[in-house]
Amino acid sequence: MSRILFINSVCNGSTGSICKNLYKAAKEEGHECCIAYGRGETPEGYNTIRIGNKLDFYLHVLKARLFDASGFGSKHATKRFIKWIEEFKPDIIHLHNIHGYYVNIEILFKYLKAHPEIKKIWTLHDCWAFTGHCPHFEYEKCMQWKTGCKKCVRIKKYPKSLVDKCKRNYQLKKKIFTDVNNLTLVSPSNWLMNLVKKSYLKNYRVTVINNGVDTNVFKTTPSDIKKQYNIENKKIILGVASVWDKRKGLDTFIELSKQLNSEYQIVLIGLNKKQIKTLPKNIIGISRTENIRELVKWYSAAEVFFNPTLEDNYPTVNLEAVACGTPVVTFNTGGSPESAFADELQIVFNRIISESIEKIGKVKANTNNIFLSNNIMNNSYIDIYEDEV
């Protein structure tokens, strides 16, 4: 059996949940596991180690803001972490999001390159690994990453900075992230895999393993949730996000609310208090909930799940909706159509509100949708962990 070290920015949220699922699956197979994380809460029942502390985190944020150096702070914290790795002696290191102001990529990858005997898996949840700054570029249609970033068009967005050092970052990251022995890249979507094959990471083996959801939890669940909100006679158009902004389509929902008739009711989950106060009267806003059962009730009660995301890899919310028997309409961006199992009727190609309304009105649940559960995702990763090749 192997010792497996997972490294991710957080233990919660979508990527954190994936780490925890893989941890449990590997433990059940007899492997010894640990999750190393950068910030947030520590989950109970898991062997974890935090990389650095709050001060390390804020100093890294400061360095990133002033010098466009996300991934190049946390030197002392990462050196301490490397000493811990040497004591843990992992056979497998599974990287997830390594951006997020908590680990120094130069120090970490120097260690990885010095230990070819360690099997390395890196699940790419976005595009940060092969750009000079940004995790996403689709909205701006920026293609600099193919040949070398020179002038960043997203310098004021995460990880935002006062200066633009994307050219330097691109060159450094290319040097740091290439020529690592015994490394396999994993993409949750075909969309991202195709980008990786055009980037400086193209010489690595890359495979697609779709994210999954717990189908014992996310399933069609009858409830009186509509009655609680006095909307029994309405057709619900549901939107869910952990953080709502323009990128996630909040502006699109507000514009949509102006053009819908009284037959429909928009419900948005995951808004902050300020956003809820400014919503139009015909949108019901609900703050972020950790109550999964309540979320399942909303998914099940909705006529359609609308995901007008402007850039995404493989949105888990789409999977959750489909698992609850609710069809998804989404923009043709990133891997969102893939995780929605969408056909042409469910994809809005031009991001036009009228087209969205038409498709929302026509789409029906497809009981033949086949989606990946956590078990299938976990087993695919276990195969990589236990592969002797």
Residue spans of the domains in the chain: they are 3-212+374-386, 225-362
Banded pLDDT at 98 (limits 50, 70, 90):
very high
Residue-wise pLDDT for 107-149, tens only, equals 999 999 999 999 999 999 999 999 999 999 998 999 999 999 9
Structure tokens given for 132: 């000079």
What proportions of the chain, in percent to the nearest 5, are helix, strand and coil? Answer: 40, 15, 45
Could you give the percent of the chain with pLDDT greater than 90?
A: 86
Whole-number Å distance between alpha carbons of 321 and 330: 12
Whole-number Å distance between alpha carbons of 332 and 330: 6
Banded pLDDT at 368 (limits 50, 70, 90):
low
Residue-wise pLDDT for 212-227, tens only, equals 999 999 999 999 999 9
Mean pLDDT of the chain: 94
Q: Do 225-362 and 3-212+374-386 fall under one CATH topology? A: yes
Residue 26 has pLDDT above 60, yes or no: yes
Scanning the structure block, which residue is given the tokens 């195969």? 383
Whole-number Å distance between alpha carbons of 277 and 294: 22
Banded pLDDT at 370 (limits 50, 70, 90):
low
Which CATH superfamily includes the segment(s) 3-212+374-386?
Answer: Glycogen Phosphorylase B; (3.40.50.2000)
- CATH number, span 225-362: 3.40.50.2000
Structure tokens given for 267: 């419900």
Query: Are the C-beta atoms of 235 and 245 separated by less than 8 Å?
Result: no
Residue-wise pLDDT for 29-60, tens only, equals 999 999 999 999 888 999 999 999 999 999 99
Which range in 131-135, 310-314, 368-372, 385-389 is most confidently predicted, on average pLDDT? Answer: 131-135
Could you give the percent of the chain with pLDDT greater than 70?
A: 98
Residue 369 has pLDDT above 70, yes or no: no
Say what the pLDDT of residue 15 is: 93
Beta strands in 55-187 (DSSP E): 92-95, 119-123, 183-187
Say what the pLDDT of residue 343 is: 87
